Structure 1
Amino acid sequence: MNALGPSSLDPLLPSPMEPVDDERFTRHGVRLLLKRDDLIHPDLPGNKWRKLAPNLAAAAGRPVLTFGGAYSNHLRATAAAGRLLGFPTTGVVRGDELAGRPLNPSLARCAADGMRLLFVDRATYRAKGDPEVLARLLRQAPPDSVVVPEGGSNALAVRGCAELGRELRDRGVDVAAVACGTGGTLAGLAAGLGDDRRTVGVPVLRGGFLGGEIRALQQAAFGGPAGAWSLDERFHFGGYARTPSELEAFATDFEARHGLAIERIYVAKMLYGLVTLAEEGAFPAGTALAAVITGRPEASQSSAASR
């Protein structure tokens, strides 16, 4: 499967499934599986491939303008796709206070891949869906630019992520779990997994707004609700990009146990949540539980594990 055509973006699909022997699950009769979506593509790992591929296919080589925060994996993946496929990219970055400062590693990678970065204040960023605001931003981008939403989450992306749910269903998974930012991956995953299986989302942002976003995405993609899903809002650790010492210690321990480098902003929070839920008896004995590994850490995020 290659929605974009060029061999430079050939994905590894279906992504591998790896069983994990972890007594925090096995003592409850739960079989933990890691769905290694981080291995789909070296530059567009995990849900970034699944969400971007249909959007870029629809863009058909035109320039792309999209949105993200200072550490956005989505911006990095879009910039990498632009480099590999030869189309211009513009990234609208939340936080005008970042303009003129040295770029962090994520934004530096975007710039190195040719992305033009537009820093906007937070009020403008919140209003990015307003037609006048969007028109003003588009005037700073190449002509005929296609707008891809923050996180790549729209109806096209949601339908792309449904294939993830079908892959898990084909492997006999009972419950699938994924970290959530904009909700697009969960919206598609739940639809593909089906009504008779269960999908658990772990939001990494505070606010309790994500349920409505997911319902709206499913309405746009499928015409209504799809799949059996729920959110557990307890594991954001204070909000996006917050990685306190407790979470760091958990991720370092998981790496030492299983030899897998753990991305902190999304994946670590999801795995922490699953350990807590298993201890609480949320998964009946005999459950095949798949944790979707949606991304890899920056080199600075992990000091221990190797793959």
Structure 2
Amino acid sequence: MAPESAPGADPLDALAPRLPSPLQEVEDERFARRGVRLLLKRDDLIHPALAGNKWRKLAPNLRAVAETGHRTLLTFGGAYSNHLRATAAAGRLLGLRTVGVVRGHELAGRPLNPSLARCAEDGMLLHFVPRSVYRRRAEPAFHQELHRRFGRCAVVPEGGSNAAAVRGCVLLGEELRGRTDVAAVACGTGGTLAGMAAGLRAGQRGLGVPVLKGGFLGGEVRALQRAAFGGPRGDWRLEERFHEGGYAKVSARLADFAEDFSARHELPPLETVYVAKLLLALTTLTEEGAFTPGSTVTAVVTGPSWSPIR
């Protein structure tokens, strides 16, 4: 169980996040010849077990769980979900029981992949459901079924994106005030972009790079901002061209870019679900002249840590 907190203490102090996350400049000739400065916002270094935007999105939900007395946290994800891993790790560190509803009933009984194995090691109970059932993950009736099965619990949506998570991501935008002209982030569910854009100052722009195809994300971001703030906030847009075939898909173009970027900057291999797609988008847009000469563009690194600050 988690240690008792002193009266008035933040129940998440035990997680010891590194905030604000550091900024790292990258010298890249493709940006330099266009007069554009590239920064990395190293959200992957906020916490070793809750990497990237997972800390910002989970923290408000974890705080609510601690303050309301729930001892079980239930959430949803795919077989390689970073959100599931972060939730499981947070549960272990805070002494909370965690349940992960996993898309793919056929996975039950098979050896766990490294991501799900880590969840299990951190104490998460994995509940595999068919994809047809998983599509009901936002339905109150399905939540009631889960409560009957697993008992009283707090439910966090897939990816951690809800109104509380969006408000938690406002701090990301605030940390970038006065530091950049464009703040760019790879998007899965849109919660990080929705909150970050709200935290930026007037004159700064948020840019989202969806990692899934389908063109639905704009509506999701707007809905999240309505839920969190009552209406739109900030100046943001989406660049839909760089999903590379869909979630976790690695095209030949993306593979070549990731290998080249790592070699240019003497980095370990780029994380390809989010980070490489974001950097590919920013590099391509810069070469197309999308950013004003003299401007600063910041890539928010939301994936697992892939290189130290040097």
Class of the TM-score when normalised by the shorter of the 2 chains: over 0.9
**Displacement, 1:4?**
3.3
3-state SS of the aligned residue for 2:89? helix
Q: How far apart are residue 65 of structure 1 and its match? A: 0.3
The yes-or-no answer on 1:181 pairing with 2:188 is yes
User: For residue 277 of structure 2, what is the amino acid of its counterpart?
Assistant: K
Task: Check whether the contact 1:3–1:54 (CA below 8 A) recurs between aligned residues.
Answer: no
Structure 2 residue corresponding to 1:81, chosen from 75, 82, 90:
90
* Cα separation, 2, equivalents of 1:290 and 1:247: 20
In the alignment, is residue 110 of structure 1 matched against residue 119 of structure 2? yes
The secondary structure found in structure 1 opposite 2:134 is helix
Counterpart of 1:217 (choices 224, 234, 237) is: 224
Deviation at 1:245, TM superposition (A): 2.9
- Once residues 194 and 124 of structure 1 are traced to their aligned partners in structure 2, the CA distance between those partners, rounded to angstroms, is 42
AA at the equivalent of 1:112: E
Structure 2 residue aligned with 1:150: 158
Give the aligned residue type for 2:23. M
Which residue is equivalent to 1:53? 59
1:30 pairs with 2:30:
no
What is the distance in 1 between the residues matched to 2:18 and 2:53? 13
Provide the rounded CA distance (Å) in 2 between the counterparts of 1:73 and 1:4.
23
Alignment of 1:250-265 (within 5 A): 250-261=257-268, 262-265=270-273
Aligned counterparts, 1:142-291, within 5 A: 143-171=151-179, 173-261=180-268, 262-291=270-299
Structure 2 CA distance for aligned equivalents of residues 67 and 30 of structure 1: 39
Q: Can you list the C-alpha shifts for 1:106-158, whole angstroms capped at 9, x where unaligned? A: 111001100011111111111112222221222232x2210001111011111
- State how far apart, in whole Å, the 2-side matches of 1:45 and 1:170 are: 25
The AA in structure 2 aligned to 1:269 is K
For 1:169, give the aligned amino acid. R
Q: Is the 8 A contact 2:12 2:59 kept in 1?
A: no
Q: Gapped runs of 5+ residues in structure 1?
A: none
TM-score, normalisation: structure 1: 0.93
- Residues of 1 paired with 2:49 and 2:231: CA distance? 33
2:135 aligns with 126
1:30-68 deviations in Å (ceiling 9; x for gaps): 000000000000001121000001100001152100011
Return the alpha-carbon distance in structure 2 between the equivalents of residues 3 and 232 of structure 1: 37
DSSP 3-state at the match of 1:264: coil
| Secondary structure in 2 matching 1:283 | coil
- Gaps in structure 2 of 5+ consecutive residues: 1-8
Identity among equivalent positions (%) equals 66
Aligned to 1:67: 76
- For residues 247-288 of structure 1, what are the alpha-carbon distances to aligned partners after superposition, in whole Å with 9 as ceiling and x for unaligned? 122112211222334211011101001111001111000111
The alpha-carbon deviation at position 195 of structure 1 amounts to: 3.7
After superposition, the CA RMSD in angstroms is 1.5
Provide the TM-score with structure 2 as the length reference. Answer: 0.92
Q: What is the deviation of 1:203?
A: 0.3
Q: Secondary structure at the residue paired with 1:118?
A: strand
Cα deviation for residue 6 of structure 1 reads 3.6
Q: Specify the alignment match of 2:11 in structure 1.
A: 4
2:99 is aligned to 90
SS of 1:214's equivalent?
helix
- Deviation of 1:70 after TM superposition, in Å, equals 0.8
Verify the 8 A CA contact 1:259 1:306 in the aligned structure 2: no
